[in-house]
Structure 1
């Protein structure tokens, strides 16, 4: 059954696009597109052009195979879930037992939130950037708690050096103008998500973007001695942004293992991956004609940056090797 113009517009507002509609077969025309807004242990909640629904799950459905942000097709008679559509982007990471944890899907922009205090960590930001790049989302670094720093621009300048053409913003999540700062990446049909350590202001930003009248996300303070926060978000959920678009809140990530992120790392460290050495398998240690060693020698490449790249590459390779050997466990962290 063809969608009405109003329903079609509402689907577009939800993030529906030709990428998804092209996947719908002719014999699926009577099924309804549903965007997953929350994933629970035994149920899935979603949003249609007509409003929210609770999906009926077929037997043996594993809800962990679905991510907040997914598009599925459902039979409108009982809202029976029929099929998961291919994802345009997906945030996924390996956790301690080697399993894949889906953090969210079909996200256009990933706001990497950190604060201008002891939470600011260059090595961790590089991990987040690789995570975003591998997922296919646009990363934007958001600096908070600028009032705690003598000069917040020093943090901004340090972050700008981490990836070519990276956008770095400074904002106060508690102020309503924070929504204006982030507006270029929000709007009808756009989905954004926030990642970062606990206590840096992610949930406060979600509240600010969502606007009044919606259930607020819990927020918590930070420990002054180390600027670490308490976990205040325990589940992933999708919220409408006051002036259009959708924002996904996620739990704070304390440890982000690098696994299956080769392309993401190459984009973060493009000044290294873009160099061409004499030998294809150059280790950048002692071989003649090494472009990386030459860049170190002429000062165009920071030795500390190279050292962090090596550690992340080794971690990524170790994780891949462990899976090939059948252990399924990620390698030890390289930092």
Structure 2
């Protein structure tokens, strides 16, 4: 991990949102930001660079996310409290009862895919839903733009996924990539890179950080986008321009769960029309007076958008655990 010595908390991403959580009783503690999370330890940075961080006995590192702000004892380095998060990107694993924390307090989520067989609109929709649910701004980043003559086609398909969605095509090895992403890399700004393995996330991180201590990257077969990504831990890196970037391991499968608000944002044209339907619980399938189907008939809404909305909504409902059981003895059960 490579970090930069920073002269102020603001350059680390500190803002009034976090400062307002610090009370007089915390006056003897110092703010630190989680810079990496491993199975057995977490690491942090503060205004002088890397900082020691000790966790109490029986602590679980899975409770921390890269980008978290915490307060620690300056003498012992002991963790005291984690501050409330401004945004949180998380996902539910298959068969898991809890959410896996991916990154916290991110301003922009860079959803990375490549201009080859990896480009998959349905998978990008899932990332967009997660970004919208997390409370961060999504940006689609198309890598390997220098390897295809159809960049415009990839861009137009990506832009159609969500209203006013920024889409940036670039070559991750080129210094021009920094210029293309600079609007989201200002002083104190934090971005996180997510995407499947082999799309060039770590290559892009290396370019953005211009680091001598480069992330290890695997190779990829261009004809079928098969490859192996060797990033195994989430980590925070200083980037050119004063911002911060969080690299994450490639996500093999992204399930839709606990993200109703994210779906509503992704399919805003359907969400906005739904209140105009005759029936409050309209499924937009067969009910008379359906404003959504009327808009489809007029060509104002694309028909397959409704089908994807219906499919993702059904998956979200079936995979989101619900609490049941007698009071005081709640258990998590899957919806059917």
TM bucket by the smaller chain?
A: over 0.9
Looking at structure 2, the residues matched to 8 and 222 of structure 1 have their Cα atoms a distance apart, in angstroms, of 36
Looking at structure 1, the residues matched to 124 and 38 of structure 2 have their Cα atoms a distance apart, in angstroms, of 29
The equivalent of 1:228 in structure 2 is 226
Asked if residue 323 in structure 1 is aligned to residue 325 in structure 2, the reply is no
Summarize the alignment of residues 1-335 of structure 1 with structure 2, pairs less than 5 Å apart.
10-98=8-96, 99-213=98-212, 215-275=213-273, 276-320=276-320, 322-324=321-323, 326-327=331-332
1:330 to partner: Cα distance: 8.7
Gaps of 5+ in 2: 325-330
- The question of whether the paired residues in 1 share the 8 Å contact of 2:7 and 2:48 is answered with no
1:285 to partner: Cα distance: 1.4
Looking at structure 1, the residues matched to 176 and 141 of structure 2 have their Cα atoms a distance apart, in angstroms, of 14
1:150 to partner: Cα distance: 2.9
Looking at structure 2, the residues matched to 85 and 291 of structure 1 have their Cα atoms a distance apart, in angstroms, of 43
Looking at structure 1, the residues matched to 91 and 197 of structure 2 have their Cα atoms a distance apart, in angstroms, of 18
TM-score w.r.t. the length of structure 1 is: 0.92
Q: SS at 2:318's partner residue?
A: helix
Q: SS at 1:288's partner residue?
A: coil
RMSD between superposed Cα atoms in Å: 1.7
Looking at structure 2, the residues matched to 203 and 235 of structure 1 have their Cα atoms a distance apart, in angstroms, of 12
Gaps of 5+ in 1: 1-6
1:327 to partner: Cα distance: 4.9
- The question of whether the paired residues in 2 share the 8 Å contact of 1:196 and 1:202 is answered with yes
Task: Name the stretch that deviates more: 202-211 or 228-237.
Answer: 228-237
Looking at structure 1, the residues matched to 89 and 333 of structure 2 have their Cα atoms a distance apart, in angstroms, of 19
Q: SS at 1:73's partner residue?
A: strand
1:241 to partner: Cα distance: 0.6
1:225 to partner: Cα distance: 4.5
Runs of 4+ in 1 over 3 A off after TM superposition: 322-331
Looking at structure 1, the residues matched to 31 and 335 of structure 2 have their Cα atoms a distance apart, in angstroms, of 36
Q: SS at 2:125's partner residue?
A: helix
Looking at structure 2, the residues matched to 217 and 174 of structure 1 have their Cα atoms a distance apart, in angstroms, of 13
Looking at structure 2, the residues matched to 138 and 219 of structure 1 have their Cα atoms a distance apart, in angstroms, of 27
Looking at structure 2, the residues matched to 82 and 121 of structure 1 have their Cα atoms a distance apart, in angstroms, of 43
Looking at structure 2, the residues matched to 19 and 150 of structure 1 have their Cα atoms a distance apart, in angstroms, of 45
- The question of whether the paired residues in 1 share the 8 Å contact of 2:317 and 2:335 is answered with no
Looking at structure 2, the residues matched to 24 and 136 of structure 1 have their Cα atoms a distance apart, in angstroms, of 22
1:44 to partner: Cα distance: 1.6
TM-score w.r.t. the length of structure 2 is: 0.92
